[in-house]
Chain A
Amino acid sequence: MDCRVALCQMRPKLGVIDSNLETHHQWLDQAIAAGAQLAVFPELSLTGYFLRDLTQDIAMKLDDPRIAALVARSHECSVVFGFVEESRDHRFYNSVAFAEDGKILHVHRKVHLPDYGIFEEGRYFASGDSFEQVESKYGRFGLLICEDAWHVTSGWLHFLNGVDAMLMPVASPARGIDTEEPELSSQKSWRNLTDAQALLFQTWVLRCNRVGFEDGTMFWGGSAFISPFGKAVVEAHGEEEELLVHTIDSESLKRARIQTPLLRDERPHMVRSHLARHLNDPDAERGIQEHGDPEQS
């Protein structure tokens, strides 16, 4: 099914949820006015990124009225937004919620928490442990939060489950001006990464990065719609706030998958047997010996 999506390349305030909530409402108004059926916000869009000890201060449980306020808007337009989720047992997750028709359809807890360079998410967040697909009335979506996308297995799991689009809320900082390249080295890496994911996994990839500075670090924006052919068809102009609206169509998915039927020809059972050996997992290996590889039968 086709879906008109708005990527909200916005600038959250650091740790000021009420103000960011108000901003989300304004962006949603614009997205709806532009005919969007689904609006996507960046990673930690309700809170800002370099939270440090604010992480626990500003965390919200899923029944928080501020989350409910955004979920209520999903009657008008489905919405994907980022926040710090506090679980019942007081673990803190870097989460993204997918809300539709007044309900939260899914909460993805970031699995791969970067804890190197300028990142210190491992210090503050618990990590999620699965990549589930969201069954929306507009299609099947896979959510990947920033670093999740750098692990090829994350996208691969969504690919195996036949998603129509991977939604990537991102907070990618600007780094690397020491070359004559026309763009930041972090920007170039992300473009290569997301173009390749769209191409290899034959889905729409929607990269929604934030903008603005936090403690001297710039987030470079550059949000984009990348087609299942691995080509950015709409891309933000740069590092300013911008609403990008585009219709992702199933026709492109079909054409890409007819042209090169990668999903049809994928061999997950072979991967499974390799994984069993790699993980030295006798149960899995025994299962393969007893039942054989269905791809070979």
Chain B
Amino acid sequence: MNGYVEAGYISVLGVLAGYSALLLGRSRKAKKALVRVPVAEKKSEPIE
């Protein structure tokens, strides 16, 4: 088209896709952390 239009659309779609991917990753991590808590509870480590 003229370079600018493409750059605009690519930056919008790119940033939104990137942030979405980040959200999905963080969601997975948060879920894992929640599952881990009960395990940690049983494993109360002695003080160093």
A and B physically associate:
no
